[in-house]
Amino acid sequence: MMRLDFDHYLLGLARDAGATLKLGDAVGKIDLERQTVTLRSGQEIAFGFLIGADGVNSVVAKTLYGRSFDPAQIAFALEAEVPRDRLPHQGDRVEFDFSAARWGYGWVFPKQSTVTIGIGGLHRLNPDLRRRLDLYFQRKGLDAGDFKVKGQYLPGGDYRRVPGRSNVLLCGDAAGAVDPISGEGIPYAMQTGAAAGRAIALALSQPAGRSALSIYCDEYNNVIAELRRGKVWRWLVYPRVVERLFAWAFRAERVRKRILTEG
C-alpha cells in the first residue's frame, strides 16, 4: 500500500473518532512546565497528556532530551517509485540485497501500480549513499535520475529505554521503535501508539494511581525486547568479516556438493 493512502485512512479514523484536526500548522514549541504546545501560527494548546508521534525528527523528543536522535546511530534511506512497466520482468517478486550498502541493504517492493526501489544503511558508514543508489538502479537497467528520489532518516534500533516523562509519551519513530535490521517501523509505530492510548486511558480512570509513563512502559518494554534481540542479531548479518565468512561457507558448500555429485 502507498503511504499516502494508508496515512489518509488513519487520519479519517481519527477524525471519525472525534479528534480535532490541525492540518498545515506545525508544532513550534513545547513548554513542559506550563503543559502547552504552541503552533507556528501562534495558537497555544494546553494538554493534560501529550503523545509524541512526530517521527524521527521529533520535536517532542528534542524537547525532552535535547535532541531527537543519536547521530552516531541513525540510519538514512533513499528510495523512488518506479512505474511497473519500467520493470516488466519483476512481477511480484520482493528483493533484499545486503551488498548494496554498509550495515544496510537495497530493496525492491512491488506495489499495485509502482515498484519501490531503495537503499538504506547506517548514515556514518554510507557517505556515498546516493552513488550506491545510482549503481543499484543501474543494475536494474534504470537511471535513478529519471525518478523522484526521497530521503529519510531511520532510528535504526536507537530506541529510547524510557520513552517519555510522566504525562508525555513517545511512540513510533519518535521513540526509536524501528527494527534494527530491516528498518521497518510501521508495525512498531502502531503497537506503541495503541499502547500509549491505553496507558493514558487507564491513567485517567485512576487519577491517584500510576503515571501514564509507568503504565505505558509495561507494554513498551515488550516491544523493545524484540528490538533488543534485533540489535544482537544484526552483528551476525552486517559486519564485513561475517559477510565474507558466509560467502566462503556458501562457496565451500557448493564445491562440496559438486564433488559429491560428480565424484
Fold annotation for 75-154:
D-Amino Acid Oxidase; Chain A, domain 2 (3.30.9)
DSSP string, 198-244: HHHHHHHH-TTS--HHHHHHHHHHHHHHHHHHHHHHGGGTS-HHHHH
pLDDT in tens, 112-142: 899 999 999 999 999 999 999 999 999 999 9
Residue-level pLDDT at 242: 61
Tell me: pLDDT of 248 over 70: no
Contact call for residues 88 and 140 (beta carbons, < 8 A): no
DSSP string, 28-87: EEEETTTTEEEETTS-EEE-SSEEE---TT-HHHHHHHSSSS-TTT-EEEEEEEEEGGGS
Count of other CB atoms within 10 angstroms of residue 222? 11
Q: Structure pTM?
A: 0.83
DSSP letter assigned to residue 129: H
**CATH for 3-70+159-179+196-235 (3.40.640.10, 1.10.10.10, 3.50.50.60, 3.30.70.870):** 3.50.50.60
Contact call for residues 151 and 145 (beta carbons, < 8 A): no
Residue type, 209: G
Separation CA 108–CA 30 (nearest Å): 39
Separation CA 255–CA 257 (nearest Å): 5
C-alpha cell belonging to residue 129: 549513499
pLDDT in tens, 160-209: 999 999 999 999 999 999 998 888 899 999 999 999 999 999 999 987 77
Long-range contacts of 214-220 (CB under 8 A, 24+ apart): 216/163, 216/164, 216/169, 217/162, 217/163, 219/191, 219/192, 219/195, 220/163, 220/175, 220/192, 220/195
Side-chain half-sphere CA neighbours of 114 within 13 A? 12
Residue-level pLDDT at 72: 87
Residue-level pLDDT at 262: 52
Structural domain boundaries in the chain: 3-70+159-179+196-235, 75-154
Nearest to 153 by CA among 234, 68, 233, 64: 68
| CA 34 to chain centroid | 31
Provide the angle, in degrees to the nearest 10, between the axes of the packed helices 186-205 and 212-233. 160
C-alpha cell belonging to residue 139: 543494475
Give ∠ CA 124-127-130 in degrees, rounded to 5: 135
Q: Which phi and psi (to 5°) does residue 115 adopt?
A: -125, 125
Residue-level pLDDT at 32: 96
Of 43-47, 75-79, 259-263, which range is least confident? 259-263
- Of the pLDDT bands very low, low, confident and very high (cuts 50, 70, 90), residue 249 is low
Over residues 102-110, mean pLDDT: 93
User: How confident is the prediction for the chain on average, in pLDDT?
Assistant: 89
- In the chain, % of residues over pLDDT 70: 91
Residue-level pLDDT at 260: 47
